Structure 1
């Protein structure tokens, strides 16, 4: 792919300006600008839109499993797919849930907190779920920093999950449905990770990931009503 901007971003205003420049354009336009060649795997890659938007904004990035997409600014970049009736299409993946590393039990030291400290949301507007990827429209970007109340709810969700993990109640972690967070399996039965059950045995389970719930995401877009105009 062809890089459009310098990788170095000195401040968030430059990042936001880059995001605003693509408002109203379609994914097919991004592909043209990046000189991206569509392969047979294109439609099967669920994260392809996010990858394209990130590459447009910041170019190649280093491994960011723990850090934000732009660590020196403390900003994560996320897309949020919405239909023309303001319906959120998917829960939003944030990061993996550690199942055996108990050194990061505290919320404010967690990968989750790091990822959610500040997010630049890029709305992706569709007519319905059958809208082709290439014809999905880019909406107005907006920044989000968790409020005090949101941080409290996130903290409560995290603490509830860590209690289950410490007690080895792994089956209760599956599809945890909290105030803001949701837990889902990430991977398949062939991709297993280790954890400890309630009697201290090391067992193999499907990896888990943390998502922001659609209901919560809808509350965010209600505060940013001009994102589709």
Structure 2
């Protein structure tokens, strides 16, 4: 595995060198087996890109390139150039949330600086033949920061008030909170409105596709409608 990049510039150059290559080519170089599909291997694309870019954080809460403060996110794109799915940010805390602020949140930390790597995501393209697109390094501008903070605060208020079960995918303008578990047997602890502990599915924060589509459109100077 390549060593971790020392600078932001080095990381970006490495990511640019991946553009145009297929997953088959990248998997061969990394000696990583290609799964039949991504149904059971959701994180495979991310792991492949991490290997080539020298990421060191793995699934820890800090950014993938901790020393650079940069998070890596692959973004499956459709034929129309728009994201095909929401982007997982991090697991939401369901206990010990009193007094937690946006400034100190994992979400703010994870999204402070993101290296987005678009990848072909249409299901009919065999995994081995899908190509990697041009990377972009992004930090939220003031408007995006406000949208994210507003959604985070709204969603966390439900959790603090013991109303996590009332949150639906409709809540949140640019970011939603929804179950994050491999199966329904995985449960975690939360608190009800009366303060009683109960078991529920773990929840994760996800960026809506419209939000990531706007980031891409701005980067590529595309009209986004």
Fold in common (TM above 0.5): yes
CA 49–184 in structure 1, closer or farther in 2 if over 3 Å, else same? same
Deviations 1:144-198 (A, max 9, x none): 1000111111111111112111111122224353121011211122100001001
Aligned length: 221
The 5-angstrom pairing of residues 158-197 of structure 1 reads: 158-175=152-169, 177-187=171-181, 188-197=183-192
Partners of 2:46 and 2:188 lie apart in 1 by: 26
Is residue 60 of structure 2 the alignment partner of residue 26 of structure 1? Answer: no
Q: Does the CA contact (< 8 Å) of 1:25 and 1:137 recur in 2?
A: yes
Structure 1 gap ranges (5+):
none
Q: SS state of the match for residue 21, structure 1?
A: helix
Contact 2:155 2:171 in 1 (8 A): no
2:94 corresponds in structure 1 to 99
Kept in 2, the 8 Å contact 1:15–1:57? The answer is yes
| Pair 1:76-2:92 in alignment | no
Match of 2:147, SS state, is helix
SS in structure 1 opposite 2:123? coil
5 Å-filtered alignment, 1:1-229, equals 3=1, 5-7=2-4, 9-38=5-34, 44-58=40-54, 61-102=56-97, 105-126=100-121, 128-175=122-169, 177-187=171-181, 188-225=183-220
- Please, what is the CA RMSD of the aligned residues? 2.0
User: In 1, Cα distance between the equivalents of 2:87 and 2:212?
Assistant: 8
Structure 1 residue 38 displacement after superposition: 4.0
Distance 1:73-1:201 versus aligned 2 partners, 3 A rule? same
TM, length-normalised to structure 1:
0.90
Structure 2: distance between partners of 1:104 and 1:136 = 45
Matched-pair contact (CA < 8 Å) for 2:78–2:120 = yes
Alpha carbons of structure 1 residues 111 and 133: separation in structure 2 relative to 1, 3 Å: same
Stretches of structure 2 that go unaligned for 5 or more consecutive residues are none
Task: Sort the Cα spacing of 1:114 and 1:214 in 2 relative to 1 into closer, same or farther, 3 A.
Answer: same
Q: Matched residues in 2 for 1:53 and 1:17: separation? A: 13
